[in-house]
């Protein structure tokens, strides 16, 4: 036996445990996988002359999605855009070649053979185009939990769908009329129809500004799932995915929520950088949270970063029901560079993105002071392009303080070069009648990650939770 095949079979054993009686062994496959998804098993023969690709990674067993291609292509075409969507939604998937309905039944039996794959009993069937009637039949026979159809094509007298269904259809589809699919969905007892504006028949040709279906489908697949949701795209400026991670507590909700923006000098970091200490704290304390990516300099200016934060707030508010959160009990939290961002966003009119409270760790509140330091001027160039004092005042929260600001919590270490600026900002809040609290950590340096393991500095944690509970009631 060659080394690549031995390694492949070892990987299969680790990813897909087999019962002791070996009743459902895995057949040989392609040691290279499917050339698209790391960890996928390629070309597993399930019937004479037919194979499937499988992705069922180790860890907690996942629900399964059976992918049935439409009237053209095979298991490695047309539906491949779904691989990442299904993985983000926490699903295993199985993409099959087939000739007849009996082949699809055989594939499903192969997938469901006990112990062969690391999956639960939950099943959804997904197809496009001419595969719709076949997929609907298999889903009903197998008592599937869901059916997903893209560009569904059915006879005019097709009976209602008996499986809970999600139909996605382009409004400009000139091969299968969207009206017929929508009418079928209305006749079906548990069906959601999602029109995609200007979408043509083949969904792999839809443009990034038409990709909201990915988030809608992912949410539909997850259903009432709680815990950690990864990589939710909340905006696509210029076709670039901006993503957030989210956590939802168990229980009925709706929950208070915190939208978190990382620091990093406006040029570094991402949704899991710098802010990790507050993620577990908020989750353990019963809050929902959303930690966002936003565009970084030098590719954009500060104005675009602020707009990304506003968009994230609007997205959470617009989908509050999906996320089990109360849209009127949302706080925003920033640190360092994003301390400026959260303070600035609430200092300006923001239709559709009002929040109840603001938390800023060691933020930047006055850029005019930076103009006096030669070392800081390159940062100002990067943030604002050509600038003068009016531009710096425009983006400095300290010049926009008013009594209309929501309650603010400032958290600051005394061994941080931003300490003096925070004290001045706090005094401005006090003079303007803003409800605020300043937590000062004696001897603490810049960065909450540096406070971990120091009880005297981590003392901010229960005070932060108490303040959020009081202000998000």
Tens digits of residue pLDDT in 352-392: 999 999 999 999 999 999 998 888 899 999 999 999 999 99
| Joined tokens for residue 329 | 């009990």
CATH number of 227-471: 3.40.50.1820
E-assigned strand segments in 214-261:
227-235, 242-248, 255-261
Tens digits of residue pLDDT in 63-102: 999 999 998 899 999 999 999 999 999 999 999 999 999 9
Tell me how far apart the alpha carbons of residues 123 and 368 are, in angstroms, rounded to a whole number. Answer: 58
Q: What is the pLDDT of residue 7?
A: 30
Tell me how far apart the alpha carbons of residues 144 and 66 are, in angstroms, rounded to a whole number. Answer: 10
Task: Kindly compute the dihedral angle of the four CA atoms of residues 30, 35, 40, 45, in this order, to the nearest 10 degrees.
Answer: -30
* pLDDT band for position 469 (cuts 50, 70, 90): very high
6-10, 131-135, 141-145, 174-178: lowest mean pLDDT where? 6-10
Average pLDDT, the chain: 93
Q: What is the pLDDT of residue 4?
A: 32
Q: 389: exposed, middle or buried (C-beta count within 10 Å: 0-12, 13-18, 19+)?
A: exposed
Tens digits of residue pLDDT in 239-296: 999 999 999 999 998 999 999 999 999 999 999 999 999 999 999 999 999 999 999 9
Q: What is the pLDDT of residue 372?
A: 86
CATH of 3-220, one of 1.10.3470.10, 3.20.20.80, 3.40.50.1820, 3.40.50.920: 3.40.50.1820
Mean pLDDT to the nearest integer, 391-420: 97
For the chain, the domains span 3-220, 227-471
Q: What is the pLDDT of residue 156?
A: 84
**Among candidate residues 34, 143, 28, 141, the one with its CA nearest the CA of residue 79:** 34
* pLDDT band for position 22 (cuts 50, 70, 90): low
Same fold yes or no, 3-220 and 227-471: yes
Q: What is the pLDDT of residue 155?
A: 87
Phi, psi of 63 (to 5 degrees): -65, 160
Tell me how far apart the alpha carbons of residues 430 and 437 are, in angstroms, rounded to a whole number. Answer: 9
Using a cut of 0.85, tell me whether the model's pTM lies above it: yes
More confident residue, 429 or 11: 429
Mean pLDDT to the nearest integer, 15-38: 76
Q: What is the pLDDT of residue 374?
A: 84
Phi, psi of 265 (to 5 degrees): 65, 25
* pLDDT band for position 473 (cuts 50, 70, 90): confident
**Among candidate residues 449, 441, 395, the one with its CA nearest the CA of residue 264:** 449
């Amino acid at each position: 036996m060659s080394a690549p095949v031995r390694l492949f079979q070892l990987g299969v054993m680790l990813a897909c445990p087999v019962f002791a009686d070996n009743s459902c062994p895995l057949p040989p496959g392609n040691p290279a996988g499917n050339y698209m998804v790391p960890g996928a098993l390629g070309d597993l023969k399930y019937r004479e002359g037919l194979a499937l690709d499988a992705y069922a990674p180790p860890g907690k067993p996942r629900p399964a999605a059976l992918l049935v291609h439409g009237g053209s292509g095979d298991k490695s075409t047309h539906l491949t855009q779904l691989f990442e969507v299904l993985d983000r939604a926490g699903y295993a998937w199985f993409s099959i070649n087939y000739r007849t309905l009996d082949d699809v039944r055989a594939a499903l039996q192969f997938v469901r053979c006990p112990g062969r794959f690391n999956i639960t009993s939950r099943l959804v069937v997904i197809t496009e185009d001419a595969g719709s009637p076949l997929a609907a039949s298999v889903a009903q026979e197998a008592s599937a939990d869901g059916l997903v159809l893209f560009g569904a094509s059915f006879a005019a007298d097709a009976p209602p769908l008996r499986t809970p269904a999600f139909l996605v259809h382009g409004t400009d589809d000139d091969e299968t009329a969207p009206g017929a699919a929508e009418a079928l969905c209305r006749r079906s007892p548990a069906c959601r129809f999602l029109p995609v504006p200007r979408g043509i028949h083949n969904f792999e040709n839809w443009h990034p500004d038409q990709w909201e279906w990915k988030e809608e489908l992912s949410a539909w697949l997850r259903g009432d799932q709680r815990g950690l949701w990864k990589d939710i795209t909340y905006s696509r400026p210029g076709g670039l995915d901006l993503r957030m991670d989210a956590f939802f507590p168990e229980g009925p909700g709706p929950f208070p929520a915190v939208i978190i923006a990382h620091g990093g000098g406006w040029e570094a970091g991402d949704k899991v950088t710098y802010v990790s200490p507050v993620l577990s704290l908020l989750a353990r304390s019963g809050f929902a949270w959303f930690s966002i990516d936003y565009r970084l300099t030098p590719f954009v200016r500060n104005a675009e970063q602020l707009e990304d934060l506003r968009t994230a707030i609007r997205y959470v508010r617009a989908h509050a029901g999906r996320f089990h959160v109360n849209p009127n009990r949302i706080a925003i939290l920033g640190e360092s560079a994003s301390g400026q961002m959260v303070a600035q966003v609430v200092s300006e009119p923001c239709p559709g993105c009002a929040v109840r409270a603001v938390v800023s760790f060691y933020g930047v509140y006055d850029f005019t002071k930076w103009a006096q330091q030669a070392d800081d001027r390159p940062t100002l160039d990067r943030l604002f392009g050509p600038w003068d004092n009016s531009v710096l005042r425009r983006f400095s929260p300290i010049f926009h303080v008013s009594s209309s600001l929501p309650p603010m919590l400032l958290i600051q270490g005394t061994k941080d070069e931003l300490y003096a600026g925070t004290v001045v900002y706090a005094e401005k809040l006090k003079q303007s009648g803003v409800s605020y609290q300043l937590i000062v950590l004696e001897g603490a340096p810049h960065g909450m990650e540096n406070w971990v393991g120091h009880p005297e500095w981590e003392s901010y944690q229960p005070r932060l939770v108490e303040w959020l509970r009081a202000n998000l009631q």
